[in-house]
Amino acid sequence: MTFRRFGLRHKLVALIVMALVFALGVAGFWLSYILGTYHRDQAQARFIEAFGSIVSNLERSELRLERDVNVLVQDSDVIASANMVSGYASVEDYQAVIFDPEKRSIARELESVLRVTTTDQLAVYQDTGDLMAFGFEEADGIRVGIISYENGHPVVMISDDLASWEEGELPASLARTRSFNGLKETEYQSVGAGLMAVTGQSILRRFPGGAESTVGYLVGAAFVDEGFVENIGRETQVALTISVPGSEPIGEIAGLAQVPELERVPVLEEAARGVRLTDREDFFLSAGYLPLASGNQAYFLLGQPKDEVHAQIRRTRTVVLVVLGLSALLMVLLGTVIARRIISTPLERLVSAVEELRRGHYGTVVRIESRDEIGELADAFNVMSETIRQREGQLKESEANYRRLIETSEEGVWVTDAHGQTVFVNPTMAGMLGTTVESMQSSSLLEFLDESRQWAEYQLLLRARGSPGPRDICFHRRDGRELWAIVSASPIQDDQGRVTGALAMVTDITERKRNEDTNVLLQRINQQVLEGMEPDDVLRVVCVEVARMFRFPLVWVGLREDDGRVTIAAQAGQRKDYLGQIEVRWDAGPKSRGPTGYAIRTGEARTTRITAPSSAVWREAAEEYGFASSAAVPLIAVKGEVIGALNVYSQHADAFSPPAMQRLGDLASRVTVAYMLSVDQADLRLQGAAIQAAANAILITDPDGYIEWVNRAFVRLSGYRQSEVIGKKPSLLKSGRHDRSFYESLWRKILRGEVWQHEVVNRRKDGSLYTIDQTITPLLDEDGSISHFIAIQEDVTARKEAEAHIRYIEQYDRLTGLPNRMLLLDRLRQALAHAERNRRQVAVVQLDLDRFKDINDSLGPSAGDELLKQVAQVLTQCVHADDTVSRQGGDEFTLLLDSLRDADQAVDVAQRIVTAFVRPFEVVGEELFVTCSMGIALYPIDAQTPDGLIKAADTAMFGAKAQGRNSYRFFTTDLNVQATARLKLENALRRALEREEFILHYQPQIDASSGQILAAEALIRWQSPEMGLVAPEQFIPVAADTGLIIPIGEWVLRNACRTVRRWHDAGHLLGMAVNLSAIQLDRGDMVWLVGDVLKEESLEPHWLELEITESELMQSPEASRKTLGRLKDMGVHIAIDDFGTGYSSFSQLRSLPVHRLKIDRSFVDDIFSADGAAITAAIISLGHSLKLEVIAEGVESESQLIRLREQGCDGIQGYYFSKPLPLEAFEALLKGSENPGD
């Protein structure tokens, strides 16, 4: 028997007993707690103090450790050594002789810090995570070590005096640390018999301008061991044990149980406030944990022995509990008697009455005589029972009335759930949708909405709050036709305010909607007819709109012809192809028996089904297109003449009800009126065309100048309606551009009866100005008096604007809006004339952007255009308002500084420009630092004509470029001489290609070990008839600046390959090296050109080597890498010339597709100095580490050859073997090397 089956009295007694027992238990617990609180508080206070000491000691250790690491990562020696060591590509390329000394230098810095700090261990890692150097403190002193590599395997080298190094092993504590990749805080790791705090920082190399790069990581550690435990014990007098998973505990407490059984708190996170005591048989215990980097935890356990006070606590607690138990027993007996009389019996009566009410016996009454709360409860129950009885009757009557109202309502009622599923629908709603109430019970609201709008429309219903107002919604009936309805929707919500469905009141407005649409359509057509709509367009628009509004698959208008035919004047709908398969007539015969022929013959509307006998002629075609019925209504003109019929088709057999036919008839009559009106309007327009064609605008005034009539052209031109100008004077068009005398002259002439013609600027109604060519003619009556004035106006605004625009583009640069050369010369002539009269100076500044082509090539022409616009703005801000900034084309600008007192003012402007260019330009999201070169020429000192000044400034500008760019320079006579010489050289250079004045010399490349000729380098020479043999350093820069380097480079490539082919045919299998410029490399057709030349000469690609200097290669390394990569893929060899002078990095070099490095001659000249020897050795070692051949240029002595052989250089080139030779001399050298005995 369960507790619920007991009576109320027994339950009350049981509750009293349970309450007393609970009270006794609480009392006992409370007493024990009070007695034991003091002892626990004492222990807890000590534990709080101990945890506080632990935290402060750990934090001090962390701060010292982070300070020591921070000092080291900022040490310049450590940074430099780490940067140097991080340079090798892989352990296979590791060169101990270069990198081990740097690592020992780092170890020396670590040893000096360990000696003077409390840090126990330091380690430096490469940016790849590999260990470089380390230091650690042991009982017998400090030791340091490095990681070297032999044959790709790591070797640990240990030293305790930094002098002698021996192979050893990593200490266990160091083996457990890991490389820190930018760690921001200290972490803890287990090691040996304890813990260690570990922190790390990145070693950063900083570049000018603020850029940084990581070259390594520094990791430091401090141990938490037995000394730490002993120190805590001395400070707090509490026993401490540190337990680390996998290690022996430090400072074990006697009787210690397993750590996981204790409650633990994080030591470093509010440990003091979170201390929890754990009672053990002879100890108070508390535990904290410290998270480790491995994911485990180190436990800090504190212990405090208990005393014998617990025995006394138990005795006192027993006595008190006995007394409380006896008192409780007496209270149970007394409470049972009272509860039975005043509580349980009345409540049992109330329970019985509630059960009767639940069974539907409304009006049940319970009799209780007491006046206490139970009696009041009984009275309230009786009132409630009677109220329920009355309301139940009212509810039944209301529900019956409501159901009758809903089911007989002329409006549709639709209730859905939150998913759109139908919950209730009345017969009216079902009838609107062409279905039954029963079938809709399994339907969703979304089935009847247009697919493209169903979700949005339903969300509107659900999200409406209050009464959102009616909304027009289009439903689809079951038969496919549209139902337009006004829907008033409200959400249905549960007690929590959640939307559970929607209630919609629906009113059918389909007919009204169609009538409204029809009225709107006809109003629009009538308006368009008045505005000049053509008759054919009237019928076309009617067909299109009727098909759209009523969803008819085909609508067409047939016009009556005198010969009995019906011509199709307009058509619309998805089934227009049907009309191409039928012929309709109105006179007689089978083809006139349909609705169309009947409507035209009789003037009466008619509808028919396709299955009717009268449709037999068209039935097969109509069924193919899905037509079930059609209708035709006549188009009857004003005099009763039938001019045609409006024809519509439907897929539904009963589509054309009497209301629908009446609507079509009304539509047809109004369409006929609009059509006939458009025909009349077309005739009127034809008659008025002559007047409209006479002039763009015409106005007629009376003799006093008041306007009596204007045409539409005037309305369009002026912006005023006819009603706004009739009765007004033409002066309302005044623009203010003409003075009083202008109009007085006009009136004098026309009042004399003469014709006046002139250009006039008028003002439109909207305030804009326009220009007209106006002719005013006086009209004379029979008496010779002026009766009217006729003004004919031709709008010439566009012509005037075009003329102004032409003048603008003739004088201004389209891109920047600055004056162009033509306007500059005009202003310069005026400035020179003014300066001559006032004895002032004029300066012309020629400005050219430095390396603008690189920006155009890398970022694209649009970025270059944007930069030019910004430069134009900057230059305009740097000059005075009276000065002129002009763009001459490309990246050239010319500044005209007018009326100068002296040359210092020109210097001020130039300096302002240089300063302004210090700030970067922001173009397509990139910051571009751009410089410019300027040349300055002064009038009358340097030249007295505009062309002379510009030429002098241009010469000075080239001088500024020659002296290093990013500067300005004044014109001098020497510069003029240099410019003249350069121009002469440039002209001669252009003719040299045509006259074939270039020749090739060849210098052999020798194998350093065998002395055998392996290849030749083709070197261009210019044999000028006027200047003799011109050295390459004289004409190659000019060729590069003028672009002639492209055809010259192609000439060299073709002739060099032709020479190699000649040597191979003669049995000399040599390679050929050809120099390549960055300009050639930037061209997109370089790969194609090389392939074409090799194919023409039938030459294998590996016999050709293309050389490009390191400095030119570094101008655009990424673009160069792609082009050279394609050449290498073709099989062509690539060499970097003048290596060591271009500041390429190791990583860049490693990514470039090259085969050979050529040591610059400057390093070979300096090979006997310590630095020079080290550089050449390093280049050779670097090349070999990258699997590249190395050849030295400029070898002129045997001693240089011997030294290069000792360093392992692969090839030699220089005057020691041979200077560059003409072809015949070089071939003779080849024969001599093959026959040394001859």
* 113 plus 186 within the same structural domain: yes
Question: What pLDDT is attached to residue 885?
Answer: 94
Query: What token pair was written down for 950?
Result: 């510009």
* 768 plus 831 within the same structural domain: no
Residue 846 covered by a domain: yes
Question: What pLDDT is attached to residue 795?
Answer: 85
Query: What token pair was written down for 517?
Result: 């649409």
Question: What span, in angstroms and rounded, lies between the C-alpha atoms of 301 and 285?
Answer: 7
* 741 plus 859 within the same structural domain: no
Higher pLDDT, 62 or 394: 62
* 679 plus 533 within the same structural domain: yes
* 167 plus 294 within the same structural domain: no
Range with lowest mean pLDDT among 297-306, 715-724, 725-734, 1005-1014:
297-306
The rounded Cα 55 to chain-centroid distance in angstroms is 48
Give bridge partners of residue 221 from the DSSP assignment. Answer: 121, 198
- Short-list 960, 961, 942, 940, CA closest to 951: 942
User: Mean per-residue pLDDT for 1053-1063?
Assistant: 94
Question: What span, in angstroms and rounded, lies between the C-alpha atoms of 158 and 865?
Answer: 63
Residue 362 covered by a domain: no
User: Mean per-residue pLDDT for 248-270?
Assistant: 60
Residue 638 covered by a domain: yes
Question: What pLDDT is attached to residue 601?
Answer: 86
In contact, 51 and 288? CB cutoff 8 Å = yes
Question: What span, in angstroms and rounded, lies between the C-alpha atoms of 330 and 637?
Answer: 116
* 1028 plus 1164 within the same structural domain: yes
The phi and psi torsions of 560 (rounded to 5 degrees) equal -75, 130
* 443 plus 532 within the same structural domain: no
Query: What token pair was written down for 565?
Result: 């035919």
User: 214, 236, 258 — which closes off a domain?
Assistant: 236
**In this predicted model, what pLDDT tens digit does every residue of 1122-1164 receive, in sequence order?**
888 888 999 999 998 888 776 556 666 777 888 999 998 888 9
- Has residue 1055 got a pLDDT over 70? yes
The phi and psi torsions of 707 (rounded to 5 degrees) equal -75, 130
Query: What token pair was written down for 691?
Result: 């007047």
Question: What span, in angstroms and rounded, lies between the C-alpha atoms of 1238 and 1236?
Answer: 6
**In this predicted model, what pLDDT tens digit does every residue of 566-606 receive, in sequence order?**
888 888 888 777 887 788 888 877 888 888 888 888 888 88
Residue 993 covered by a domain: yes
Question: What span, in angstroms and rounded, lies between the C-alpha atoms of 296 and 250?
Answer: 17
User: 309, 339, 360 — which closes off a domain?
Assistant: 309
Question: What is 153-164 written as a DSSP string?
Answer: EEEEEEESSSS-
User: In total, how many domains does the chain have?
Assistant: 8
- Short-list 1139, 1068, 1137, 1060, CA closest to 1102: 1060
Residue 788 covered by a domain: no
**In this predicted model, what pLDDT tens digit does every residue of 820-866 receive, in sequence order?**
898 899 999 999 999 888 888 999 999 999 888 878 877 888 889 99
- Residue 323 corresponds to which amino acid? V
Kindly provide the b/e burial profile for residues 141-154, where b requires at least 16 CB atoms within 10 angstroms of the residue's own CB: ebbbbbbbbeeeee
User: 189, 207, 236 — which closes off a domain?
Assistant: 236
* 938 plus 998 within the same structural domain: no
* 872 plus 738 within the same structural domain: no
Residue 803 covered by a domain: no
Question: What pLDDT is attached to residue 892?
Answer: 92
* 683 plus 769 within the same structural domain: no
Question: What span, in angstroms and rounded, lies between the C-alpha atoms of 78 and 71?
Answer: 10
Compute the chain's Rg from CA coordinates.
Answer: 53
- Short-list 542, 518, 527, CA closest to 644: 542
- Provide the 3-class DSSP secondary structure of residue 243: strand
Question: What are the CB-based long-range contacts (under 8 Å, 24+) for 905-911?
Answer: 905/843, 906/843, 906/845, 906/936, 906/938, 907/936, 907/968, 909/843, 909/845, 909/878, 909/879, 909/883, 910/845, 910/934, 910/936, 910/968
CATH number where 495 lies: 3.30.450.20
Range with lowest mean pLDDT among 269-273, 1034-1038, 1192-1196:
269-273
The pLDDT-based confidence of 44 (bands split at 50, 70, 90) is: confident
User: Mean per-residue pLDDT for 208-217?
Assistant: 82
What would you measure as the largest C-alpha separation in the chain, in angstroms?
153
In contact, 416 and 501? CB cutoff 8 Å = yes
- Has residue 1 got a pLDDT over 50? no
Query: What token pair was written down for 1208?
Result: 């392992």
Lookup result for tokens 């083996």: 175
Q: pTM score, two decimals?
A: 0.36
The phi and psi torsions of 1110 (rounded to 5 degrees) equal -60, -40
How many other C-beta atoms can be found within 10 angstroms of the C-beta atom of residue 271?
23
CA distances (Å), origin 348, targets 332, 340, 362, 367, 449: 21, 11, 19, 12, 59
Question: What span, in angstroms and rounded, lies between the C-alpha atoms of 1124 and 1145?
Answer: 18
Question: What pLDDT is attached to residue 1064?
Answer: 94
In contact, 232 and 50? CB cutoff 8 Å = yes
- What residue numbers bound the domain in which 338 lies? 3-50+310-350
Range with lowest mean pLDDT among 179-188, 585-594, 879-888, 1040-1049:
179-188
- Has residue 196 got a pLDDT over 70? yes
Residue 902 CB burial class (10 angstroms; 0-12, 13-18, ≥19): exposed
Helices 226-236 & 8-73, crossing angle to 10 degrees? 120
Query: What token pair was written down for 223?
Result: 């141990």
User: Mean per-residue pLDDT for 259-277?
Assistant: 57
CATH number where 877 lies: 3.30.70.270
Question: What pLDDT is attached to residue 1224?
Answer: 92
Question: What pLDDT is attached to residue 3?
Answer: 47
CATH number where 1100 lies: 3.20.20.450
**In this predicted model, what pLDDT tens digit does every residue of 415-449 receive, in sequence order?**
888 777 887 888 887 777 778 877 787 777 777 77
Residue 393 covered by a domain: no
Residue 982 covered by a domain: no
* 1056 plus 1134 within the same structural domain: yes
In contact, 302 and 47? CB cutoff 8 Å = yes
Range with lowest mean pLDDT among 457-466, 467-476, 603-612, 1020-1029:
457-466
Residue 950 per-residue DSSP state = H
- Has residue 974 got a pLDDT over 70? no
In contact, 188 and 298? CB cutoff 8 Å = yes
Question: What span, in angstroms and rounded, lies between the C-alpha atoms of 958 and 937?
Answer: 13
User: Mean per-residue pLDDT for 984-1005?
Assistant: 86
- Has residue 467 got a pLDDT over 70? no
SS (H, E, C) 1165-1229: HCCCCHHHHHHHHHHHHHHHHCCCEEEECCCCCHHHHHHHHHCCCCEECCCCCCCCECHHHHHHH
The pLDDT-based confidence of 458 (bands split at 50, 70, 90) is: low
Residue 626 per-residue DSSP state = T
* 674 plus 822 within the same structural domain: no
**In this predicted model, what pLDDT tens digit does every residue of 940-950 receive, in sequence order?**
888 889 998 99
Question: What pLDDT is attached to residue 1006?
Answer: 92
Question: What pLDDT is attached to residue 272?
Answer: 46
Question: What pLDDT is attached to residue 336?
Answer: 66
Residue 267 per-residue DSSP state = T
Residue 1106 per-residue DSSP state = E
**In this predicted model, what pLDDT tens digit does every residue of 71-117 receive, in sequence order?**
888 888 888 888 888 766 577 777 787 788 888 888 888 888 888 88
Which pairing describes strands 1071-1075 and 1013-1024: parallel, antiparallel, or unpaired? parallel
Residue 343 per-residue DSSP state = I
Helix or strand (DSSP H, E) at 236: helix 226-236
